């Protein structure tokens, strides 16, 4: 277990703060990008499903030409 004498020494992480906090920043950025991409793909899928449903409704409304 690590003990720090002050908040300043905690944030400095024994001289490795750039690596420690940089790693946290990279993980947070990666998660944020992944969530944004997931939301975009979900919107696009819903949009494509709506368009497909609308196309089926138009097709069903047209008389059969055979």
**pTM, 2 dp:** 0.64
Please state which of the ranges 6-10, 17-21, 30-34, 38-42 shows the lowest mean pLDDT.
6-10
Which is more confidently placed, 25 or 62? Answer: 25
Residue 15 has pLDDT above 70, yes or no: yes
**What phi, psi does 61 have (nearest 5°)?**
-80, -20
Would you state the structure tokens that stand for residue 20, as one six-digit string?
């420690």
- What confidence category does residue 64 fall into, taking pLDDT thresholds of 50, 70 and 90? low
Mean pLDDT over 26-48 rounds to 96
Q: What is the mean pLDDT of residues 20-44?
A: 96
């Amino acid at each position: 277990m690590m003990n720090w004498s002050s908040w300043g020494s905690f944030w400095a992480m024994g001289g490795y703060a750039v690596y420690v906090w940089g790693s946290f920043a990279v993980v947070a950025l990666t998660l944020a990008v992944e969530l944004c991409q997931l939301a975009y793909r979900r919107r696009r899928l819903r949009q494509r499903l709506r368009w497909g449903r609308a196309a089926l409704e138009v097709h069903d409304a047209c008389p059969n030409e055979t």
